[in-house]
Amino acid sequence: MAAAAAGAFSLREVLDAFRRCVTEQREVLLEPYLSGWRGLIRFLQSLGTVFSFISKDAVAKVTLLEGHCQRQRFVSLQSMVEQELAAGPAALRARPDSGCRTVLRLHRALRWLQLFLEGLRSGDPRTSVLCTDAYDASLAAHHPWVVRKAARLAFCALPSREAFLEVMNVGPPEEAVAMLGEAIPYIGDVYGITQELFERHKLLDLP
């Protein structure tokens, strides 16, 4: 039985989802994008209640996007941006539930993930420090003081590097590290395409 079907986290399945995201035309497909996020959230939920304020926010954002995809038949990030912008940039900026503003939050979190996985791969055993550094270089600037405080406190409860490598469910630590090396470029690719798309449409500061 696949690890995901059994409810366990599998880095392989997250990697596969992000690999499936990017088409030959460099479009980002939303179904595998959200599937990758669901896999990551499963992992976060397994870390315990101290992280539940983070996982609840991530679940809410993925659920909102799934609803948009079903109702508006969005297939790719590019089609979502195009359709939501059709009403004009001002109308889009006024919408608190738009797909674009919601993807932007996950997009910033994807940068956090990329930096954190690079840190794990580097061999540095200080997971809390790695996580805080990645957070400070990505999401922190977009969060109010109280969220930054709560997030940094939660990072102190992170498991050790060995535990992270084990929970990836890909075998011995050296294989887990190799898989990190495989996964990071796919995540970086999705991040880069999204960043360029949002930059081009001036959507990087959607309120």
Query: Where along the sequence are the contacts to ligand LTTT4AJV (CB under 6 A)?
Result: 11, 40-41, 43-44, 53-54, 57-58, 105, 108-109, 112-113, 131, 135, 139, 143, 147, 151, 158, 164, 168
Q: 198 CB contacts (<8 Å, ≥6 apart)?
A: 81, 100, 104, 107, 204
Between 80 and 158, CB nearer to ligand LTTT4AJV: 158
The nearest distance, CB 155 to ligand LTTT4AJV, in angstroms, is 7
**Measured between alpha carbons, how far is 195 from 133 in angstroms, rounded to an integer?**
21
Between 75 and 159, CB nearer to ligand LTTT4AJV: 159
Between 75 and 143, CB nearer to ligand LTTT4AJV: 143
The nearest distance, CB 68 to ligand LTTT4AJV, in angstroms, is 15
The nearest distance, CB 24 to ligand LTTT4AJV, in angstroms, is 28
Cβ 203 vs Cβ 133: under 8 Å: no
Cβ 9 vs Cβ 168: under 8 Å: yes
What amino acid is encoded at 31 in this protein? E
Between 26 and 126, CB nearer to ligand LTTT4AJV: 126
The nearest distance, CB 88 to ligand LTTT4AJV, in angstroms, is 21
Residue with tokens 């959200």: 34
Q: 84 CB contacts (<8 Å, ≥6 apart)?
A: 92, 95, 98, 99, 100
